[in-house]
Structure 1
Amino acid sequence: MQVVQFIADYGPWSWIVAGLILLALELVVPGGFLLWMGVSGLIVGLLTLFQPIGWPLQWLIFGALSLVTIFLWTRWSRGRETANDSPYLNRRADRYTGQEAVLEQPIAGGFGRIVLGDSVWRVAGPDLPVGARVRIVGSDGAVLKVEPIS
């Protein structure tokens, strides 16, 4: 009941102060949720500053605004693509897709080896002799999938 009494005593300024506190907490505890709750608190404070509203309706507006803004923010932030300067970091095999190489060991029984840069890679594909040119078409873990170049 102290919160209700505080809101009743200070009216819109309590919402504005609470909104600013939530915005400041967002700097300490990042995640985005406190940001939108703080914005909702500021909006309720500004709304009650110009139009007197009872405290139950103030809480309803604050809750609804918080839910809507958080929902919209999560939908927007999950839908956008993040820029990455190293898209193949921790996916080394994927960076070789589309490249051509020469077999160092024949593919026999479905597996052989190629050299790419300073690494020796295990490859999977149809049986081919040493020196055959292959194109990397994908990967399965640390095994590169290849097909012969005709």
Structure 2
Amino acid sequence: MDLIAFLAAYGPWSWIVAGLVLLALELVVPGGFLVWMGIAGILTGLLTLFQPLPWAVQFLIFGILSLVSILVWLRVTRNRRTGTDRPLLNRRTDHFIGQEAVLDQPISGGFGRLALGDTTWRIAGPDLPAGRRIRIVGAEGAVLRVEPVPEPGASIR
């Protein structure tokens, strides 16, 4: 009941101060939702400053404004794609998909190694001898999936 007494004593200013506190907390605890709750608190305070309302209605207005603004914010940010000049930055294996290379070492038992750039990658595919041309077709974690490139003049079945 202390909260109700506080609201009754300070009225709309308690909502405005609470909204500002929530905005300040967003700086310490980032996540985005405290901003919208802070704005809802400030709007509730401004509304009750010009139109006195019972405390139950004030809480209802604050709750509805908070919920609606957070849901709208989530919907807008979830559907937004962020553009970047380096879309494959943290997906190193995706850089290699579609590239062709020559095996330095044979693939035996379904696995082998292939040097690409400054890294030696583990590869998975059919058993192939060293010197065979392969194409990188996918990746599973840090393992590149490869398949043999048909040799020129070979018949395709």
Report the TM-score, using the length of structure 2 for normalisation: 0.80
Distance 1:111 1:123 in 2: 6
1:86-97 matches, within 5 Å, as: 87-89=88-90, 91-97=91-97
Which residue in the other structure is 2:155 paired with?
none
* Unmatched tracts of structure 2, length 5 or more: 151-157
Structure with the larger strand share: 1
Please state how far the C-alpha of 1:82 moved relative to its aligned partner.
Answer: 4.0
Which residue in the other structure is 2:138 paired with?
138
Which residue in the other structure is 1:48 paired with?
48
* Unmatched tracts of structure 1, length 5 or more: none
1:95-114 matches, within 5 Å, as: 95-114=95-114
Contact 1:22-1:35 at 8 Å conserved across structures: yes
Using the TM superposition, name which of 53-62 and 117-126 deviates more.
Answer: 117-126
SS at match of 2:46: helix
1:51-130 matches, within 5 Å, as: 51-83=51-83, 85=86, 87-89=88-90, 91-130=91-130
Distance 1:94 1:24 in 2: 41
Please state how far the C-alpha of 1:31 moved relative to its aligned partner.
Answer: 1.6
Please state how far the C-alpha of 1:86 moved relative to its aligned partner.
Answer: 6.5
Please state how far the C-alpha of 1:39 moved relative to its aligned partner.
Answer: 0.5
Distance 1:100 1:2 in 2: 72
Distance 1:111 1:22 in 2: 55
Using the TM superposition, name which of 99-108 and 69-78 deviates more.
Answer: 69-78
SS at match of 1:107: coil
Using the TM superposition, name which of 11-20 and 106-115 deviates more.
Answer: 106-115
Paired letter, 1:57: V
Identity percentage over the alignment? Answer: 64
Relative to 1, partners in 2 of residues 1:34 and 1:112: Cα closer, same or farther, differing over 3 Å?
A: closer
SS at match of 1:16: helix
Distance 1:122 1:2 in 2: 65
Contact 1:106-1:130 at 8 Å conserved across structures: yes
Contact 1:88-1:94 at 8 Å conserved across structures: no
Contact 2:88-2:94 at 8 Å conserved across structures: no
1:119-138 CA-partner distances (Å, limit 9, x unpaired): 22232223333212111011
RMSD, aligned CA: 2.1
Relative to 1, partners in 2 of residues 1:26 and 1:109: Cα closer, same or farther, differing over 3 Å?
A: closer
Q: What is the aligned residue count? A: 149
